[in-house]
Every structure is written in C-alpha cells, then in structure tokens.
Structure 1
C-alpha cells in the first residue's frame, strides 16, 4: 500500500550520512544573494547572521538593497556588517522603489552570476546554498529552485499551503538538517511556480526570460509567479528542492497591506496568464511532495526529546476536535502529538499533528494492525488519550497493551452509555428519565451492531476499567457517568481556553432599561438539537 511504501522510506531514512561531502557540484558560478530591506530590525539581523554563519562550497556575494529604510538602527547595523565582511555590497535607494524594482537592481549588478532572492525575514541553515545550487544544476531546463519552508504556500512544511507556527518546537537548523539527511536521495519535485521568499534563479533563465515586471507588480506579490509563467512558456521548469528548509516569518516588509496586494496581484495574473491558477490548483490536488513532508515529520517526532502522545478521536470535528487542538497548542513545548481518526471501511487516518490538514498515513484495520503497532513503537509513543470511540475499529482498544503504555479517556458526551452522544430522543429532547432513557435514546441513535444497551455498556467496561485516568468536563457529567459505571473515578477537568489571553478589546456594555429586551448575537453555528436540549434543561 501507499502507506507501507512511505513507512519503508521513512525507516530507510535512518541510514544517513553527514552533511559534509554530500555534493559534487556541477557548476562553479558565483551566486548573488539579493536581500531587499525596508524594516524589521530583528528579522534583518537574524537573516544576515544566518547567511554569514554557515560556510558554503559555492562562492557567493551578498547584495543588500536598502529600499529607503527608515530605521536608523538597521542602517547602523548594515554599516557594521559591511565593515566586517568583504563580500557584502549595499545598494541604497534614495526613495522607496518597492520590492520588485529593488530586486531587479540586484539582478543586473553582475550579468553572469546566478541569483538567490532572499527575504529579510528568513533564516538559512547549514549548507543550504550548496544544496539549492546542486538541485538547479541537475538539469539544463530547471530555471528556478525553491526550498521547503514553514511559510511558503505550495512549499510549506509540515502542513501544505499553510503558514505553520514551528516556534519553540524545533530550530530552523534542526529542521533543515533533518531535510538534508532524510531527503538527500530525492532529487526534486516539479512545482508550477517558485515562491519568492527564497528563490534561486539560474542566470541563463534570467537572460532568456528577462527581469521582474515592475509595471504590473511594482510593490510586490505575484512578480515571481509572473516570471515563472513567462519562463514556462520558454521551456523552463521550476523545482522544489527536496532536501532544504529555510525558515520564513512572512509579511514583515508588507505588514497589513499584504492581503490587498495579494488580491490585486492575482487579478493581474489572471489577465496575463489564464492557465496559472489551473496549474496551481492541479498541483495542490496532487500534492506530489506529501511523502517528503511525511518522512521529515516522522523523524522530527522520533528524534524529539518530548513525549509522543497518541490522541484517538472521531472524525466529526466540532468541540472534541477543538479541544484536542487546544490541548496540543497549550502543551506544544511539552509534547508531540499524533492523532488517529476513523476513515471508511475499516481504514484509520493517522495524522502527524493536531490539525485536520496535517500530513497523514492510512492503515486498513485489522489487516494492517501489526504495521500500525510497529510504527507507533518506531515513533516511541509514550501514552494514548482516547477522546472518542465513535466508528473506532475495535482492534484499537488493545493498542495500549501491544505498546505496553498507559492510556487516558476524556468524556466529551454520553456515547459510552448507550451510543447516543447527547442522550436525546427522536424529537431532540433530553431523556431525563433513566427508566425510559435507553429505549428512547436507541430509537433516535441505534446502537452499532444492534446490541442491547446493557451489552453495549458491558463492552465499554473493557476500556473504562483499564484507563489510567478519566476526565470529565463537569461535575454533572461525572455523576451521570458514574451512575452507569460506578467503578470509575473521573477527574473534573474543565476545558481550557487557549484564546483567553488573546488581545480582545474591552467589553463595552450597553445600558438598557429593565423593560427593554436584551438582544444577543451568537456568532457561529448551534445545532437544533443543542438549542432544544438547553431550552429543555432550563
């Protein structure tokens, strides 16, 4: 199966060698690293120091474009590093010309050098430049190369097409080193366009295609997409460098104008290149670099010093999904999370992260149960946390035994009682009377397998009795569950609110008279059964 192939590749990835001596470079071209700068002192300093920190086999120049930077602190820092490094050149714009015009200035400075366009809010690591250089010279028709990054749309890691927050989990150095080791045998993956945060362009491609289009993309965004489409029409192609990662903060230079500029740029792209969005959409649907992300994520988790927690839940989203995301967010520096959710026809989905969009592996149970156990041991899973058992393949109930680890259970609803999560009848009213509860609940939610409520509860005993800890979000739920399962001792643990410290504005109460009705706006969706249940209880 596809999952087995991915796992075999991941297991083989352990047999790696050092970063030194990996490459026999095929070109001796000097590379101009062009870094436009406007504001963001810390980002600028982190970027330049990372470029200067690591030695490369390839000779390179650093071309800094000071686009009328208003920050005196940045200007002083630039003067300092120029005095300390002979390979740095600063070009100063008297007025702010914008990103595209500034980049063009750098690209015409040396007519024979390759170029790397590097945003000032990036951090590079190890022999990043040598690897990108090797990648672009694997074929005469490769015009541009882009590395993986946490914030690079179609080149994003670990979640595809997303701005990923990797802060405090791994350093850019650790992630790039893992990419270099695990994906060192992978050449590259073709992409419809480069991503401009870190874009290596072959000089022959620039001579053939021309510079960036200042007229249509003057202030930034879309200029690299337009360049790549023009290059494609001349027979060039663009590649994702499989073994390189560059950290990217994103949006420092453009700040709040970012969304407006992107929207305007995409309108212009539609006019100039009718097939651009079709190419990008097809690439997104195929996600050809998925296995590369999976391999790296597996090894980052495996090598982490944090415990690996396996969460098991349903695939219905909602509050349970939200709660898991919040738990992982709050504890992101203390654990690494993987999540199992049920799929179709006995298939389970194992996500390498809390988010529903995380790269995933698929196992068909019970046939591939042994492979699942092997993988969990390989990741060194230390604990299992059951959040729901809806549609769960029964073999997973014994996973903790085969891994020889403890497990916890959190009650999110009343599914354990009679398979009716809300204990409501066919009219969506809460079944308060215990004597008639089972019959009314089963009428609304038939029990899987057609068993009786008593048999259903006896089956749950196998799981509940062996749990190390059981959590309930309220005293009411704990009491109700104990009335059916007297041997359990739930810990009352209210669901934490990770948004409680968000920068919300102060509440501005509106004074109303005692006989004036209060009008409340509820943002979001409330199911009819939830509304009726609450109305009944009140």
Structure 2
C-alpha cells in the first residue's frame, strides 16, 4: 500500500506539473485514500483542490492541518479559501488569528490589506523574529509591549522593535484606541523554536526551526556565551509536522570544553534550553560503543535475570505525592483538584514548578501553597522532568514516593491501593492501568485509547476495584513488569535510597529516565508490578512538538547502550502479552455490565468484512433499536474474538484460544445471557463454534450469504474464473481436486453437502438476500423453507435512476464500475474490456471506484482506479467520474450486490450479466440491461456504445 500510494503521489505531481489539474487531483486523492493519516498528502491534495476550484474541499483540509499542527501555511490558506467563498467575516476572524501568531510573507500582504479594509480596521501588522514589525496604516500608530508604549510610528513601513522585545508577552499596534488587524500579537507563539540536540562521536549535532517563521535562521547560544548558526535545511529529521523546515547545526569536538566538565547547556535566542539539553558530550562515546575510557556511571550493564529479594512484608516510612508541573493551566489544575480531594491528610503533595511560562498557572500554584494545601518548589529556569522529579523526591525526606504527571486524573482511594502493592520488601515500583501507558494501557495496547472524562475514569476505576479486589494485592504473580511507567509511578523508599534518583545527566527533558531507574533497581533485586485494581486517566504528552520523536529515539539509544538487552526485554514482554488475561477480565466485566437487562444475540461471522460485515452491522442496529444487544464472534489466529457487533474496538481483549478456552467463552456467553445465535459465516472458525448453540441451549438462525454450503470454492467459479454451472457432486469433486477449495478444512464435497443439509434443516430460521439464492440453495437442499430478506429497498433506489441518459455529444462514453473487484467479481472481464477499448480506440472511458488485486494492470490499459474508499465517500467518487452508465462485471451469481445499489443511487442505469441477484434485480427494475454471461468484450463494448453513447 505504501508503494502504491507513493506511485499515485508521483503520478499526481507529474500531472500537475504538466498542467493537467484534473488528472493530478485524481492521482493525489487516490494516494490520500491509501495513506489517510499522512498530513503531507493532505496538504498536497488541498492545494490541488484549490487549483481545481474545489475551494470547500481545500478549506476542510486546511482547517484540519491548522488545528492538528498549528501550521502557518494552512492558517493563511484557510483565509484565502474563505475569501473565495465570500465569507468575509469568517476570513477577517481567521486572518486576525493568523497574523497574531505567525509572520506573514510578502505574498500575503495584499490579502491582509484587503481583509483589514473590508473589516473596517485601521490597518494591519506582522512581526518578524529579526526584531522588526511591518505596519500598513494610513495614520500614525503607537506600539505597546505588555501594555507599555514604546514607539510612535508615522504610518506604513518597517520598524525596529525595542531591545528586550522577546521577553515580553504581547505586542500591540493601535491607531488611536483601535487595534490594527493582527494586534495584539502573541510573542511566545511568534518566537517559539522547535529544537533538538544530541551527543555524537564527533561532537554535538542537532536541528532548530521557528514554525511561525520558517524562513528565519535562528542562532544557538552555547554554554560559553558564543553562538552557532543553523543555515542548511536537514533532510533526515523524522517529523509528524507537514512542511517542517528544520535547520541543522553542528558543534565539533574541537569546540567542546575539556573532558569531565559535566553537562553543557545550549539555548535558543529566547533563552530556552534546546530539547535534549543539557547534554553530556561523553554520551556520544557511549552510543557509539567507545566505552573503554568512560567513567563507571556511563559504562554498559547488560540486562539479565537478577536474583530477587525475599517477598516479605515491610513497614512504610510514610508517603508523599510528587507532581512536576510546567504548563497547561486547565489540565494541571484538573489534576491537582483530583489529587487534593483524594489524598489522606498525612500524605503531603509536593508540586515542582519547572519555571512555567504561564503566569496564571504560577498564581494558582502560589495560592495553593499559601493555603497550605501543597508544598511548592519553583525553578528559576526550565530544567526538565527528571530534575523536577528529583527535586520533589528529595523534598519527600525518605518517604515512599507517588510520582504523578500533571496531565493525569486520579480516583478516590488511589493512594491506598498503590501503597498496598508497595507493602513488600521485593517491590520497587508499582504502576496502575491507564488509557495511555504503553504496556499498561487499557482497553487497547496497540492503538490510542480515547481520553476518559473524570466521570468515565471513575467508572473504569470502580470496575477495576470490583474485578481485582485488595485481596489480590498480597500477590504479584503474573503482574511483573520489565519497567514502570512514569505517568503514575509508586516507588518504595528503600528502592529509592538504594538505587538513587533519576539520572539528570542523560535524559534531559524526559523519556527513558524511569526505565533506566527500573533497570538499575532490577539489578538490585527489586520487582516492578502492575496495579490492575487502579485506573488513572492520562491525557498523554504533547510536549516537545517536532522534537518528540527525535528525543524519544535519542533516549532509547542511550537506554540500549547503557543497558544492552533492554529492547529485547520489553519486546519479549509484549510478545508474551503477559497482561492479556488481566485486561480480558476487565473486558468481561465491562461486557457483562453493558449487556445487563438486555436480550443478547450472537452473530457468527468471518473476518473479511465486506457485504457480510455490512449485513451483520445493519441487523445488529435493528436488533439494538428494539432494545437488544448484538455480539459478533470472529475467527482469530488462535481461536476467536468476541466483539460488540457495532463497535469492534470496544472490547479488544476478548480473544479466546480454542478449544482450550471454550469453557471460559461459554461462561462469558452465559453471563451476558445470549438468547440466540445467528450464523452469517463459519469460514475460519474452529469446529466447536458450529455446536456453540447446543452447548448454550439456545436456537440458531442462518443468514445465507453465499454458496459455501455446497461449493468449497464458495463463488461457483473454477480456477480460470469461469462460472461452473453447478454440476453434480461428482463434477464438484473434480473441480475441487483440480483447483482446490477455500474452506480451510479437509472435507469432501459429499460430506460438506451432508453436513450443510443437517445444519440448515436444524436451524430455527433460514434467510437469504434474494429469490435467486433461495432457488439455488433449494436445488441442492430440497424441502427447506428459506425466507428472502432484501438488503436494500430497490423500489426506493430505482427512483434515482435517470432513464435513457446518454453520453454528452462529442464526448466519450464514461462507464463506471464500483467495488472491490476480485476475479469472480469480474476482474478478467474488466481487463479484457479495457484491452478491447484500447486496441480498437473505442470512445469509451472506464473508471473503477474501488480497487483490485492488480490495479496497475488496469491502469496500464487506461482505466482510472480510485483505490479503496470509505462507504461515506463512494457517491462523491462516482460523481467525480461523471459517468453515463454503471457496469457490474461479476461472472458468478451474487447473493446480493451493494455495488448495484450505489450505481442506482448515483442515478445511473446498470449493465450486468444475467445471473444471480444482480441479474434478478436489474431485470425487475425495468432499467439497464442484463446481458448473457460470456458475451465477448468487444460485443459488450459495442452494446454499451449503442445504448448509452452519444446520439450522433
């Protein structure tokens, strides 16, 4: 998919450079759908949309980029879109916001002047990190820094800002009492630098840039007062920020002070430490493997199985909560409110203010300290998380430590439960569960979880308490961790006294300091355990901006160099998934609560999604509207997984190994009071799933989606992609012997038919989507009562169809195919049709709104292939092709055909082969054509031209 997305992007760029905007946009949007979370693609598509006149589509993308990345270019393009849409009031509002945070380039000046005039402002302004401000106004103005007047200007022009302007918070330009557009300007936003530094074998290296003014080349202030420039753009910085223009710098070893002088501070022009500083130059030797001359503290210690301490009770010397704080007033105060309302009176709360840049936050902390509710330690300059945590732990004076991030929310009883886990000599650290805690995340560990509200966090915590009671705290079996997680980390006083504090010399602003501490503690026999009876909400770090990945990668390299084998230790823990059973117990408890008091139906389905998945979802929605609750059972590589049928991510840990854990699965299904089972597909399932209803003592229904009941190849097609004609059992055996089957089990056709006959005749209810399927199933299983249950309302869909529509005079006939086109869905037919069109230069354009197993072969023959799509995108994609008729190329009988519904919904008549649900529905509609199966592609092309081509 990555290769295909890159290829589509390259084709799109080439088409745009050649001046073909429409074709370029087609390819770029194909790439965007293949790589939906790529912001650089979103940016490129947005620009192409603007060029093509699709202004609203550009606006939507720019809004997302500005919101997600605070992107200057997106902010100004958003204004351009609003002006073109004639939304001038919104444009003025957005331009004010953009100018107050970003430097405007000269290309933006006319637009700013136009909007200022339209909004009735006396002019506009933009400032630069060079220490200048450009003002455009017809009258004299006054310049203020933090409310103090510094300059009287005569009118339009560029002016130098006063000395010390970087230390101010706001810059205002007023004409009389009125602000010009862009005033007041947020100086911190304008001057903010993203940066990173690390030690390497040849000195120090890093990068820096100013997101509000990427054209500006910042200088780095070194420890001795000298500076170094950063001019050249870097090419290898891994950044999530689109259009990031990082500039590299290098401080060679010759400029470094003599060995043993300690940490070196590097700062930006605002006096802020670079991310990664202070830095010890000797770390460059460590990560390069040149460790012979390093001091003991920087020499590697290999990770291995250390001798554990005895598991004996201990007496706690008391406990203190330590919370390092930097920014984000709202989240920090939310955290402190939950902490102060839940901490016992004998547990001091120590807050370390790491030189917050937010005056309001500093005042709030001062008030809490004055009230005696916290012990406040304040740094005069920003020092980073490890140093802040250490200062707080020193102030705790030998107590157990509960180290907490300032972006967490804690429930009642959190202190007591953590301390209960610390009540043994061998336990060094304890970490609770959270929505964002890597190996301790819940419910999912392999993807981000939503951040819970305070009420949601308390509900999850009550569930944890009920599922894992205090009795469990006496044992840590199965809860051992390779390392704690610093978002909420309990540390025993003995462990802290013996191991020492976090290392301030290695990890700078943070990432990895708690892992290093835990590895050192493990070497002394301390264990690190989880506390599943406690759930703490964690918003998650957004610190360090562009540098987040770089700092994390740097510190991970340091960790692995200092503790060889650390990566493998964590990887083994993840592969073993040792907390799976713990998370599953929580999922089971949540599932039982969700289903309480509701009738529950179990939907058995395969794991391929598609039409089966859609039917399951729609039937589950209908069942839910009647007050019921639907569960889905899907096959899994080791057995099965149980899901909320309408939200597959809700209970990600309900995986069961079969047949070993069949009793547990049955217990869960009984606890949620499953009253019936509905079979949709059994492909991929263990054989015991076929008798699940018997073990539960409930009835089962069958929804027939395809011909798997008598055809091991499922689609009624042979290996060459031809409809088999449904021979007798002997003919089927010959077909399977030659071409193989897809059931995933060793069963003969005769045994399959016999088993299917028993299972279908024993079901309470049989359903199929169309009469054609009913007839085919009855032909093989006479006497069954099967109900035809249409999956869409064709009468309503037929009302959309434009009868007798023809191609525009002088234009080629545009034929549109919809869906994921496999071999039996007509891939070979489509390929052959495209070849005939190209060979004979027929005036037909083929487009596929969807994908195939080989898009490239189709595109080489001139077919426009959009790539995979979401269901909510399909109609817009069909419209973009401007089609005249739809084509369903399936060469086997479908039991339904959602693609046909999409074609009708778009107003098109449809052509298909006269078999299966597709032929039945087209014939019944009285529109379009159902043509004989096997019609040669050239004949099909000529038929399309005669019926829907232009009427010349």
TM-score, normalization by structure 2: 0.43
| CA deviation string 1:275-309 (max 9, x = no partner) | 21222223223333333223222222222356555
Q: CA deviation at 1:218?
A: 0.7
In the TM superposition, what is the alpha-carbon distance from 1:49 to its structure 2 partner? 2.4
| 1:142-176 CA distance string (max 9 Å, x none) | 22111122221222223445533475898222222
> 1:154 maps to which residue?
439
- For 2:488 and 2:387, the matched residues in 1 are separated by 17
Give how far 1:256 is off. 5.6
Pairing 1:90–2:376 present: yes
Q: CA-to-partner distance for each residue in 1:38-90, whole Å, 9 max, x for gaps?
A: 2262x33332222233354x72222223334344554455455556x523133
1:524 to partner: Cα distance: 9.0
Contact 2:326 2:357 in 1 (8 A): no
Aligned residue for 1:240, secondary structure, equals: strand
Task: Tell me, in whole angstroms, the C-alpha distance in 1 between the residues paired with 2:315 and 2:392.
Answer: 24
2:364 and 2:393 map into 1 onto residues whose CA distance is 24
Provide, for residues 434-469 of structure 1, a one-character-per-residue CA deviation record: whole Å limited to 9, x for no partner.
6699848645344752134764663563477625xx
Verify the 8 A CA contact 2:701 2:763 in the aligned structure 1. Answer: no
Structure having greater relative contact order (Cα 8 Å, sep ≥ 6): 1
The equivalences for 1:187-206 within 5 A come to: 187-188=475-476, 189-206=479-496
In structure 2, which of residues 325, 336, 354 is the aligned counterpart of residue 67 of structure 1?
354
Extract unaligned runs of 5+ from structure 2: 1-312, 779-785, 794-811, 815-840, 860-886, 892-911, 913-952
Structure 1's 460 and 406: CA in aligned 2 closer, same or farther, altered over 3 A? Answer: closer
The aligned counterpart of 2:338 is 50
Structure 1 residue 265 corresponds to structure 2 residue 550: no
Deviations 1:180-226 (CA, angstroms, capped at 9, x unpaired): 23322332222111111111112332232222222321122111111
* Counterpart mapping for 1:395-410 below 5 A: 396-397=689-690, 399-400=692-693, 403=696
In structure 2, the CA distance between the partners of 1:371 and 1:203, relative to structure 1 (3 Å rule), is closer
Measure the CA separation in 1 of the matches of 2:440 and 2:434: 6
Give distance in 2, aligned partners of 1:424 and 1:399.
Answer: 31
Pairing of 1:8-157 with structure 2 (within 5 A): 26-39=315-328, 41=330, 43-56=331-344, 59-71=346-358, 74-75=361-362, 77-79=364-366, 81-82=368-369, 86-139=372-425, 141-157=426-442
Q: Distance in 1 between matches of 2:667 and 2:790?
A: 32
User: Aligned-pair RMSD on alpha carbons?
Assistant: 4.6
1:425 equivalent in structure 2? 718
SS at match of 1:44: helix
Aligned residues: 477
Question: Is structure 2 residue 747 aligned with structure 1 residue 449?
Answer: yes
The answer (yes or no) to whether the contact 2:592–2:672 under 8 Å persists in 1 is: yes
C-alpha separation in 2, matches of 1:302 and 1:519: 51
**Counterpart contact for 1:385–1:410, Cα < 8 Å:** yes
Give the alignment partner of residue 776 of structure 2, picking from 484, 494, 512. Answer: 484
Instruction: Show the counterpart of 1:12.
Output: none
User: How far apart in 1 are the matches of 2:792 and 2:367?
Assistant: 54
> Is the alpha carbon distance of 1:214 and 1:168 closer, same or farther for their aligned partners in structure 2, counting shifts above 3 Å?
closer
Q: Equivalent residue of 2:420, what SS?
A: helix
Q: Secondary structure at the match of 1:116?
A: strand
C-alpha change, 1:272 and 1:171, in structure 2 (3 Å) is same
1:313-348 per-residue CA deviation (whole Å, 9 max, x = no partner) reads: 34x5565898699899999x996856352667xxx4
Is residue 250 of structure 1 aligned with residue 540 of structure 2?
yes
SS in 1 for 2:328: coil
Task: Give distance in 1, aligned partners of 2:316 and 2:346.
Answer: 11
Match of 2:143 in 1: none
1:147 touches 1:155 (CA, 8 Å); kept in 2?
A: yes
The residue that corresponds to 1:341 in the other structure is 635
In the alignment, the residues of structure 2 paired with residue 525 and residue 338 of structure 1 have an alpha-carbon distance, to the nearest angstrom, of 28
1:296 to 586, 596, 600: 586
- Inter-CA distance 67–300: structure 2 relative to 1 (3 Å threshold): same
Structure 1 residues 395 and 212, CA gap change in structure 2 (3 angstroms): closer
Q: Distance in 2 between matches of 1:385 and 1:93?
A: 64
For the residues of structure 2 that align with 1:251 and 1:334, how far apart are their CA atoms?
39
Q: Greater CA radius of gyration, 1 or 2?
A: 2
- Tell me: CA distance 1:305–1:60, structure 2 relative to 1, closer, same or farther (3 Å): farther
2:672 counterpart of 1:379: yes
C-alpha separation in 1, matches of 2:482 and 2:667 = 37
Instruction: Please state whether the residue corresponding to 2:402 is helix, strand or coil.
Output: strand
CA distance in 1, matches of 2:482, 2:526: 11
2:498 is aligned with 1:211: no
Contact 1:117 1:196 in 2 (8 A): yes
SS of equivalent residue, structure 1 residue 304: helix
Q: CA deviation at 1:97?
A: 2.5
Q: 2:588, 2:654 within 8 Å by CA — same for their partners in 1? A: no
1:313 aligns with 2:605: yes
Partner Cα distance (2:592, 2:365) in 1 = 40
1:248 positional shift: 1.9
Mapped to 2, the partners of 1:109 and 1:328 lie a distance apart of: 61
Cα distance in 2 for residues equivalent to 1:234 and 1:210: 12
User: 1:34–1:115: 8 Å Cα contact kept in structure 2?
Assistant: no
Is the Cα–Cα contact under 8 Å of residues 31 and 113 in structure 1 kept in the other structure? yes
| Contact 2:324–2:385 under 8 Å retained in 1 | no
TM-score (norm 1): 0.72
Asked if structure 2 preserves the Cα contact closer than 8 Å seen for 1:33 and 1:60, the reply is no
Residue 389 (structure 1) aligns with: 682
Q: Distance in 1 between matches of 2:400 and 2:516?
A: 19
In the TM superposition, what is the alpha-carbon distance from 1:483 to its structure 2 partner? 4.0
Q: Are the counterparts in 2 of residues 383 and 407 from structure 1 also a CA contact under 8 Å?
A: yes
- Following superposition, the deviation at residue 426 of structure 1 comes to 0.9
SS of 1:358's partner is: coil
